[in-house]
Amino acid sequence: MTAFFVRRKAGRLASLVLSSVLVLAQAAVPTLAPTGAEAQAIPAGYSRPAPIIVRNDPGGDVGARANKIRAMADSGQSVEIRGACYSACTMYLGLPGSCISRNVQFGFHRPSFYGAALAPDQFEFWSRIIAAHYPPALRNWYLAQGRYSARLQMLSGAQLIDLGIRECA
């Protein structure tokens, strides 16, 4: 096979995989976790699961993370972010009941396909998926600035706490 043919075939496969992920992610986005009083209401006889402690999470697939976060929100699961949190890990920041440590480093960057730039419509779609998992002030920053960087843009837990993210006790 020629290199051109292999690249072309790989490009088609990547498009097929990305299209499948888009379909799965679209199903996960419309109804994100409840907020405010809804998130605090716990049915009688039900207790929230203990928070998951997140330490040194490098991120990963945005669609898979969105699905995981939705399942966690549905079950009342929260997280405590106590170690470095990069890329898709930052999507935990919108999970009700979650908190962060002041000294943790968070890394934000543009959505990509394993590091490769996305087409404009895909870039916009995935940027919105990611941003939908952030509280309003962080969402605004990400859509205006964070999503345009190929390199990690670092924010500290203290900076995010100043933007309204809850600090762990």
What is the per-residue pLDDT across 84-113, written as a single tens digit (0 to 9) for each?
Answer: 999 999 999 999 999 999 999 999 999 999
Within a 10 A sphere around the Cβ of 68, how many other Cβ atoms?
18
pLDDT digits (tens, 9 = 90+) for 8-21: 333 433 443 343 34
Whether 149 shows a pLDDT value over 90: the answer reads: yes
Instruction: At 145, list the tokens.
Output: 């600035």
Q: Could you tell me the pTM of the whole model?
A: 0.73
- Average pLDDT for 118-139: 96
Using DSSP bridges, classify how beta strands 153-156 and 105-108 pair: parallel, antiparallel or unpaired.
Answer: antiparallel
* More confident: 28 or 155: 155
User: What residue type is assigned to position 123 of the chain?
Assistant: F
- Label each residue of the chain as H, E or C: CCHHHHHHHHHHHHHHHHHHHHHHHHHHCCCCCCCHHHHHCCCCCCCCCCCEEECCECCCCHHHHHHHHHHHHHHCCCEEECCCEEHHHHHHHHCCCCEECCCCEEEECCCCECCECCCHHHHHHHHHHHHCCCCHHHHHHHHHCHHHCCCCEEEEHHHHHHCCCCECC
% residues pLDDT > 70 (the chain): 73
Question: Residue 155's pLDDT band (boundaries 50, 70, 90)?
Answer: very high
Instruction: At 41, list the tokens.
Output: 């209401």
**Please, which residues bridge with residue 79 across strands?**
52
